[in-house]
Amino acid sequence: MKINGNAVRPGMVLEHQGRLWRVAKIQHTQPGKGGAYLQAEMKDIRGGTKLNERFRASEDVERVRLDEQEYQFLFSDGEEHTFMDGETYEQITLHQDFVGEPADFLQDGMNVSVQSYEGEAISVSLPDHVTMQITEADAVVKGQTASSSYKPAILENGRRVMVPPHIEAGTRVVVATADGTYVERAKD
């Protein structure tokens, strides 16, 4: 689908120079001399390379529509992760590099969203937050509780996270999957 060069927004997937690009950032610029343009920072979906490109309002850009399907995480086998379609029971296996760092937060039975283009998986989206248990937490240093300080802790998946002083080992916490940061104490 062709769109105007000024209609490009972060998160869109574009077909440009024969490759698929996800727009990361945009900036509208109106120089004193010449026409206005949109500066877009894009990342190649398959290769991971970055590209800065200028699009003028008069240009048409090819926007790609991705198919989105819900899959359930089944298991990991080393660096391979297996997912199942809940309706057709079809299974797909994706490599660790494809899923990225959020793969640390995959849990049995977790529903994820897989985006595909022309039948080929392009990206995997995990839920925004997951609930995990703290296995180790440093002791609180006396006198440090007056200020808003954080202490290191280890999650059940082995990832380190900074948590408030009142969180102890065995506590269940909510963690953001995008960057692995502490959100809140779990309410369960």
**3-state secondary structure (DSSP) of residue 169:** coil
- Angstrom distance (rounded) from CA 101 to CA 160: 13
Q: Taking the model in full, what pTM does it have?
A: 0.72
List b or e across 126-153, with b for residues whose CB sees 16 or more CB atoms inside 10 angstroms. beeebebebeebeeeeeeeeeeeeebeb
pLDDT at 118 over 70: yes
| 67-77 and 19-29 beta bridge pairing | unpaired
- C-alpha 49/C-alpha 24 separation (Å) is 12
Are the C-beta atoms of 186 and 131 separated by less than 8 Å? yes
List pLDDT tens digits, range 148-171.
Answer: 688 899 999 889 999 988 889 999
Note the pLDDT tens digit of each residue in 17-69: 888 888 888 998 888 888 888 999 998 887 778 999 999 888 888 988 888 89
Residue type present at position 67: D
